Structure 1
Amino acid sequence: MSSWDAEMTKLGAEGAIDILCRGLADAVAAAPRLPSRASVRFGCASIEVEWPDAPDERLDVEPPAADAPATGTGNRFVVRSELVGTFYRAPEPAAKAFVEVGDFVEAGQQVGIVEAMKLMNPVCAGAAGRVVEILAGDAESVEYDQPLMVLEPGEQD
Protein backbone atom coordinates (compact mmCIF):
# COMPACT_ATOMS: atom_id res chain seq x y z
CA MET A 1 0.00 0.00 0.00
CA SER A 2 1.42 3.38 -0.98
CA SER A 3 1.75 6.18 1.58
CA TRP A 4 -1.05 8.03 -0.28
CA ASP A 5 -3.38 5.00 0.05
CA ALA A 6 -2.47 4.69 3.74
CA GLU A 7 -3.29 8.37 4.34
CA MET A 8 -6.62 8.07 2.50
CA THR A 9 -7.51 4.94 4.51
CA LYS A 10 -6.85 6.83 7.77
CA LEU A 11 -9.31 9.53 6.68
CA GLY A 12 -12.21 7.10 6.41
CA ALA A 13 -15.05 7.21 3.90
CA GLU A 14 -16.20 10.78 4.64
CA GLY A 15 -12.68 12.19 4.44
CA ALA A 16 -11.94 10.27 1.26
CA ILE A 17 -15.15 11.49 -0.36
CA ASP A 18 -14.38 15.06 0.68
CA ILE A 19 -10.92 14.85 -0.91
CA LEU A 20 -12.37 13.22 -4.04
CA CYS A 21 -14.98 15.99 -4.38
CA ARG A 22 -12.41 18.74 -3.90
CA GLY A 23 -10.02 17.09 -6.35
CA LEU A 24 -12.74 16.69 -8.95
CA ALA A 25 -13.87 20.31 -8.47
CA ASP A 26 -10.28 21.55 -8.84
CA ALA A 27 -9.75 19.46 -11.98
CA VAL A 28 -12.98 20.70 -13.58
CA ALA A 29 -12.18 24.32 -12.64
CA ALA A 30 -8.73 24.03 -14.21
CA ALA A 31 -9.97 22.40 -17.41
CA PRO A 32 -10.02 24.67 -20.47
CA ARG A 33 -13.62 23.60 -21.11
CA LEU A 34 -16.29 21.76 -19.16
CA PRO A 35 -15.95 18.00 -19.60
CA SER A 36 -18.97 15.91 -20.56
CA ARG A 37 -18.16 13.29 -17.92
CA ALA A 38 -15.76 12.82 -15.00
CA SER A 39 -15.18 9.86 -12.70
CA VAL A 40 -12.93 9.62 -9.64
CA ARG A 41 -12.55 6.47 -7.54
CA PHE A 42 -10.69 5.55 -4.35
CA GLY A 43 -11.34 2.12 -2.88
CA CYS A 44 -15.09 1.85 -2.35
CA ALA A 45 -15.58 5.63 -2.68
CA SER A 46 -16.31 6.97 -6.13
CA ILE A 47 -17.74 10.08 -7.70
CA GLU A 48 -19.17 10.22 -11.19
CA VAL A 49 -20.45 13.43 -12.70
CA GLU A 50 -21.97 13.84 -16.12
CA TRP A 51 -22.89 17.08 -17.87
CA PRO A 52 -25.31 16.36 -20.71
CA ASP A 53 -24.79 18.64 -23.68
CA ALA A 54 -21.78 20.32 -22.09
CA PRO A 55 -21.05 23.64 -23.80
CA ASP A 56 -17.79 24.02 -25.70
CA GLU A 57 -16.94 27.21 -23.84
CA ARG A 58 -16.49 27.70 -20.13
CA LEU A 59 -19.06 30.08 -18.70
CA ASP A 60 -17.93 32.80 -16.32
CA VAL A 61 -20.00 32.46 -13.18
CA GLU A 62 -20.06 35.01 -10.42
CA PRO A 63 -18.87 33.60 -7.08
CA PRO A 64 -21.56 33.42 -4.39
CA ALA A 65 -22.05 36.67 -2.55
CA ALA A 66 -20.78 36.97 1.00
CA ASP A 67 -23.31 36.39 3.74
CA ALA A 68 -26.18 38.72 2.97
CA PRO A 69 -27.19 41.11 5.73
CA ALA A 70 -30.36 40.19 7.54
CA THR A 71 -33.28 42.43 6.68
CA GLY A 72 -33.59 45.36 9.08
CA THR A 73 -30.62 44.36 11.21
CA GLY A 74 -28.05 47.00 10.25
CA ASN A 75 -24.58 45.49 10.03
CA ARG A 76 -25.56 42.00 11.21
CA PHE A 77 -25.06 39.05 8.93
CA VAL A 78 -26.74 35.70 8.45
CA VAL A 79 -25.21 32.24 8.63
CA ARG A 80 -27.01 30.25 5.91
CA SER A 81 -27.35 26.58 5.12
CA GLU A 82 -25.19 25.48 2.21
CA LEU A 83 -27.25 22.29 1.78
CA VAL A 84 -30.74 20.87 1.95
CA GLY A 85 -30.86 18.64 5.01
CA THR A 86 -31.43 18.52 8.75
CA PHE A 87 -29.88 21.21 10.97
CA TYR A 88 -28.43 20.19 14.32
CA ARG A 89 -27.26 22.63 16.97
CA ALA A 90 -25.09 20.04 18.78
CA PRO A 91 -22.60 17.36 17.73
CA GLU A 92 -24.86 14.61 19.13
CA PRO A 93 -28.34 14.40 20.69
CA ALA A 94 -27.45 14.79 24.39
CA ALA A 95 -24.49 17.13 23.87
CA LYS A 96 -24.27 20.85 24.56
CA ALA A 97 -25.13 23.08 21.57
CA PHE A 98 -22.23 24.46 19.55
CA VAL A 99 -23.42 28.01 20.32
CA GLU A 100 -26.17 29.82 22.20
CA VAL A 101 -27.57 33.32 21.80
CA GLY A 102 -25.03 35.73 23.30
CA ASP A 103 -21.99 33.54 22.57
CA PHE A 104 -19.07 35.07 20.70
CA VAL A 105 -17.81 33.08 17.69
CA GLU A 106 -14.60 33.34 15.71
CA ALA A 107 -14.49 33.33 11.91
CA GLY A 108 -14.54 29.72 10.75
CA GLN A 109 -15.85 28.38 14.07
CA GLN A 110 -18.38 25.57 13.78
CA VAL A 111 -21.84 26.72 14.88
CA GLY A 112 -23.94 23.75 13.76
CA ILE A 113 -24.28 20.74 11.47
CA VAL A 114 -26.44 20.07 8.43
CA GLU A 115 -26.95 16.36 7.82
CA ALA A 116 -27.46 15.51 4.17
CA MET A 117 -27.55 11.96 2.83
CA LYS A 118 -26.15 10.61 6.14
CA LEU A 119 -23.13 12.94 5.95
CA MET A 120 -22.61 15.46 8.75
CA ASN A 121 -21.56 18.78 7.17
CA PRO A 122 -20.21 21.48 9.48
CA VAL A 123 -21.84 24.91 9.46
CA CYS A 124 -19.24 27.59 10.21
CA ALA A 125 -19.42 31.30 10.96
CA GLY A 126 -18.19 33.44 8.07
CA ALA A 127 -16.82 36.14 10.38
CA ALA A 128 -16.26 36.83 14.05
CA GLY A 129 -19.23 38.12 16.00
CA ARG A 130 -21.85 37.56 18.66
CA VAL A 131 -24.82 35.24 18.10
CA VAL A 132 -27.92 37.43 18.39
CA GLU A 133 -30.57 35.06 17.04
CA ILE A 134 -30.86 31.36 16.21
CA LEU A 135 -33.46 30.98 13.47
CA ALA A 136 -33.46 27.21 12.86
CA GLY A 137 -34.47 24.74 15.53
CA ASP A 138 -32.53 21.62 16.44
CA ALA A 139 -33.29 18.66 14.13
CA GLU A 140 -35.26 20.99 11.83
CA SER A 141 -35.35 20.41 8.08
CA VAL A 142 -33.61 23.25 6.24
CA GLU A 143 -33.38 24.31 2.61
CA TYR A 144 -30.41 25.54 0.62
CA ASP A 145 -29.54 29.15 1.53
CA GLN A 146 -32.01 29.17 4.46
CA PRO A 147 -30.95 31.51 7.27
CA LEU A 148 -29.83 29.53 10.33
CA MET A 149 -28.62 32.24 12.69
CA VAL A 150 -27.83 35.94 12.87
CA LEU A 151 -24.45 37.25 14.04
CA GLU A 152 -23.49 40.77 14.98
CA PRO A 153 -19.91 41.43 13.86
CA GLY A 154 -17.50 42.52 16.53
CA GLU A 155 -14.72 41.49 18.82
CA GLN A 156 -14.87 39.40 21.96
CA ASP A 157 -15.16 41.38 25.20
Structure 2
Amino acid sequence: MTAVEENTSGAFDGATGHDEYLRILEAIQTGALQLLAGFPQQPSALRVQVGEVTIEAEWQVTAAPLVGAPEVAAGAVETPAAPDKPALGAVFRAPSVGVFYRSQEPGADPFVEVGDRVTAGQQIAIVEAMKLMIPVTAQTGGVITGILKEDNEPVQFDEPLFSYSPE
Protein backbone atom coordinates (compact mmCIF):
# COMPACT_ATOMS: atom_id res chain seq x y z
CA MET A 1 0.00 0.00 0.00
CA THR A 2 1.40 3.43 -0.93
CA ALA A 3 1.45 6.43 1.38
CA VAL A 4 -1.36 8.03 -0.62
CA GLU A 5 -3.50 4.90 -0.36
CA GLU A 6 -2.72 4.73 3.35
CA ASN A 7 -3.72 8.37 3.90
CA THR A 8 -6.93 8.10 1.89
CA SER A 9 -8.12 4.53 2.42
CA GLY A 10 -11.74 4.54 3.46
CA ALA A 11 -11.90 8.34 3.53
CA PHE A 12 -13.29 8.85 0.01
CA ASP A 13 -15.89 6.32 -1.01
CA GLY A 14 -18.17 6.79 -4.02
CA ALA A 15 -18.80 9.87 -6.20
CA THR A 16 -19.23 12.19 -3.22
CA GLY A 17 -15.91 11.02 -1.81
CA HIS A 18 -14.22 11.61 -5.15
CA ASP A 19 -15.60 15.16 -5.24
CA GLU A 20 -14.35 15.72 -1.70
CA TYR A 21 -10.93 14.39 -2.67
CA LEU A 22 -10.76 16.79 -5.64
CA ARG A 23 -11.85 19.67 -3.39
CA ILE A 24 -9.07 18.87 -0.94
CA LEU A 25 -6.47 18.63 -3.72
CA GLU A 26 -7.62 22.02 -5.04
CA ALA A 27 -7.29 23.50 -1.53
CA ILE A 28 -3.79 22.04 -1.25
CA GLN A 29 -2.81 23.52 -4.63
CA THR A 30 -4.13 26.96 -3.71
CA GLY A 31 -2.46 26.90 -0.31
CA ALA A 32 0.85 25.68 -1.70
CA LEU A 33 0.93 28.41 -4.36
CA GLN A 34 0.13 31.09 -1.78
CA LEU A 35 2.79 29.71 0.54
CA LEU A 36 5.45 29.57 -2.20
CA ALA A 37 4.66 33.13 -3.30
CA GLY A 38 5.48 34.36 0.21
CA PHE A 39 9.07 33.05 0.32
CA PRO A 40 11.88 35.51 -0.48
CA GLN A 41 13.55 32.69 -2.43
CA GLN A 42 12.39 29.37 -3.86
CA PRO A 43 12.62 26.54 -1.30
CA SER A 44 13.99 23.12 -2.22
CA ALA A 45 11.15 21.16 -0.59
CA LEU A 46 7.55 21.60 0.49
CA ARG A 47 5.25 19.42 2.59
CA VAL A 48 1.55 20.27 2.74
CA GLN A 49 -1.06 18.40 4.77
CA VAL A 50 -4.80 19.02 4.62
CA GLY A 51 -6.82 16.66 6.76
CA GLU A 52 -5.60 13.16 6.06
CA VAL A 53 -3.98 14.06 2.72
CA THR A 54 -0.26 14.88 2.65
CA ILE A 55 1.74 16.01 -0.38
CA GLU A 56 5.52 16.27 -0.31
CA ALA A 57 7.54 17.86 -3.11
CA GLU A 58 11.27 18.30 -3.56
CA TRP A 59 13.06 19.94 -6.45
CA GLN A 60 16.51 21.16 -7.34
CA VAL A 61 16.99 24.89 -6.88
CA THR A 62 19.12 26.29 -9.69
CA ALA A 63 19.08 30.01 -9.03
CA ALA A 64 17.27 31.83 -6.28
CA PRO A 65 16.54 35.52 -5.91
CA LEU A 66 18.33 37.38 -3.13
CA VAL A 67 16.66 37.63 0.27
CA GLY A 68 14.59 40.79 0.29
CA ALA A 69 14.09 40.75 -3.48
CA PRO A 70 10.55 41.49 -4.59
CA GLU A 71 8.41 38.42 -5.12
CA VAL A 72 7.58 37.50 -8.71
CA ALA A 73 4.90 35.08 -9.87
CA ALA A 74 3.97 35.38 -13.51
CA GLY A 75 4.26 39.11 -13.01
CA ALA A 76 5.53 42.03 -15.01
CA VAL A 77 9.25 42.62 -14.51
CA GLU A 78 11.87 44.48 -16.49
CA THR A 79 14.73 42.11 -17.35
CA PRO A 80 18.20 43.67 -17.61
CA ALA A 81 20.18 42.84 -20.73
CA ALA A 82 23.38 40.84 -20.62
CA PRO A 83 26.23 42.57 -22.48
CA ASP A 84 25.87 40.26 -25.51
CA LYS A 85 22.06 39.89 -25.49
CA PRO A 86 19.31 42.41 -26.27
CA ALA A 87 16.96 43.45 -23.44
CA LEU A 88 13.75 41.43 -23.17
CA GLY A 89 11.80 44.35 -21.75
CA ALA A 90 8.75 43.44 -19.71
CA VAL A 91 8.16 39.71 -19.25
CA PHE A 92 5.61 37.33 -17.78
CA ARG A 93 7.40 34.69 -15.69
CA ALA A 94 6.83 31.08 -14.60
CA PRO A 95 5.00 30.84 -11.26
CA SER A 96 6.60 27.47 -10.49
CA VAL A 97 9.05 24.83 -11.61
CA GLY A 98 7.29 22.54 -14.08
CA VAL A 99 6.40 21.97 -17.73
CA PHE A 100 5.22 24.91 -19.85
CA TYR A 101 2.08 24.48 -21.98
CA ARG A 102 0.81 27.13 -24.38
CA SER A 103 -2.69 25.62 -24.72
CA GLN A 104 -5.39 24.11 -22.51
CA GLU A 105 -4.89 20.63 -24.01
CA PRO A 106 -2.91 18.96 -26.81
CA GLY A 107 -4.10 20.07 -30.23
CA ALA A 108 -6.00 23.11 -28.91
CA ASP A 109 -5.21 26.66 -29.98
CA PRO A 110 -2.60 28.42 -27.82
CA PHE A 111 -3.86 30.83 -25.18
CA VAL A 112 -1.91 33.68 -26.84
CA GLU A 113 0.23 34.37 -29.90
CA VAL A 114 2.72 37.13 -30.70
CA GLY A 115 0.72 40.30 -31.38
CA ASP A 116 -2.20 39.35 -29.12
CA ARG A 117 -3.43 41.97 -26.67
CA VAL A 118 -3.82 40.66 -23.11
CA THR A 119 -5.55 42.11 -20.06
CA ALA A 120 -4.64 41.84 -16.40
CA GLY A 121 -5.83 38.47 -15.05
CA GLN A 122 -6.10 36.80 -18.47
CA GLN A 123 -4.74 33.25 -18.62
CA ILE A 124 -1.84 33.08 -21.08
CA ALA A 125 -0.37 29.60 -20.41
CA ILE A 126 -0.15 26.68 -17.96
CA VAL A 127 2.75 25.32 -15.94
CA GLU A 128 2.26 21.72 -14.80
CA ALA A 129 3.98 20.85 -11.55
CA MET A 130 3.47 17.37 -10.10
CA LYS A 131 0.16 16.89 -11.98
CA LEU A 132 -1.12 20.30 -10.78
CA MET A 133 -2.06 22.62 -13.63
CA ILE A 134 -0.99 26.10 -12.51
CA PRO A 135 -2.44 28.88 -14.66
CA VAL A 136 -0.04 31.58 -15.86
CA THR A 137 -1.92 34.87 -15.91
CA ALA A 138 -1.00 38.31 -17.18
CA GLN A 139 -0.48 40.66 -14.25
CA THR A 140 -0.86 43.76 -16.44
CA GLY A 141 -2.28 44.55 -19.84
CA GLY A 142 -0.14 44.69 -22.97
CA VAL A 143 0.71 43.14 -26.32
CA ILE A 144 2.67 39.86 -26.52
CA THR A 145 5.96 40.55 -28.35
CA GLY A 146 7.69 37.19 -27.93
CA ILE A 147 7.21 33.60 -26.82
CA LEU A 148 10.39 32.66 -24.97
CA LYS A 149 9.79 28.94 -24.26
CA GLU A 150 8.66 26.07 -26.44
CA ASP A 151 5.43 24.20 -25.72
CA ASN A 152 5.98 21.16 -23.47
CA GLU A 153 9.39 22.50 -22.34
CA PRO A 154 10.58 22.32 -18.71
CA VAL A 155 10.78 25.71 -16.97
CA GLN A 156 12.25 26.95 -13.72
CA PHE A 157 10.59 29.14 -11.11
CA ASP A 158 10.65 32.82 -12.21
CA GLU A 159 11.90 31.99 -15.73
CA PRO A 160 10.69 34.40 -18.47
CA LEU A 161 7.94 32.82 -20.61
CA PHE A 162 6.62 35.74 -22.68
CA SER A 163 7.88 39.23 -23.47
CA TYR A 164 5.31 41.95 -23.92
CA SER A 165 4.87 45.64 -24.50
CA PRO A 166 2.93 47.22 -21.60
CA GLU A 167 -0.12 49.39 -22.26
- Alignment counterpart, residue 124 of structure 1, candidates 128, 137, 143: 137
Counterpart secondary structure, 2:77: coil
Supply the distance in 2 between the matched residues of 1:110 and 1:138 (Cα, whole angstroms).
Answer: 15
Supply the distance in 2 between the matched residues of 1:146 and 1:39 (Cα, whole angstroms).
Answer: 24
Supply the distance in 1 between the matched residues of 2:149 and 2:33 (Cα, whole angstroms).
Answer: 28
User: Are 1:21 and 1:47, in contact at CA under 8 Å, matched by a contact in 2?
Assistant: no
Supply the distance in 2 between the matched residues of 1:90 and 1:136 (Cα, whole angstroms).
Answer: 13
* Percent of aligned pairs sharing the same letter: 38
User: Are 2:28 and 2:50, in contact at CA under 8 Å, matched by a contact in 1?
Assistant: no
Supply the distance in 2 between the matched residues of 1:135 and 1:22 (Cα, whole angstroms).
Answer: 23
For residues 2-43 of structure 1, what are the alpha-carbon distances to aligned partners after superposition, in whole Å with 9 as ceiling and x for unaligned? xxxx9x8285343121344378x4xx99xxxxxxxx974235
The two structures have a TM-score, normalised by structure 2, of 0.61
- Structure 2 unaligned residues grouped into runs of 5+: 1-16, 40-46, 58-66
Residue in 2 that maps onto 1:105: 118
Q: How many residues align?
A: 125
* Structure of larger gyration radius: 1
- What letter matches 1:85 in structure 2? G
> Which ranges of 4 or more aligned residues in structure 1 deviate by more than 2 Å?
8-14, 18-23, 38-43, 45-49, 60-63, 65-68, 70-74
- Structure 1 unaligned residues grouped into runs of 5+: 1-5, 30-37, 50-59
User: Are 2:76 and 2:140, in contact at CA under 8 Å, matched by a contact in 1?
Assistant: no
Residue in 1 that maps onto 2:8: none
- Alignment counterpart, residue 139 of structure 1, candidates 120, 145, 152: 152
For residues 56-112 of structure 1, what are the alpha-carbon distances to aligned partners after superposition, in whole Å with 9 as ceiling and x for unaligned? xxxx945426632144558x4101112121100000001110001111100111100
Residue in 2 that maps onto 1:68: 77
Tell me the C-alpha RMSD between the 2 structures.
3.3
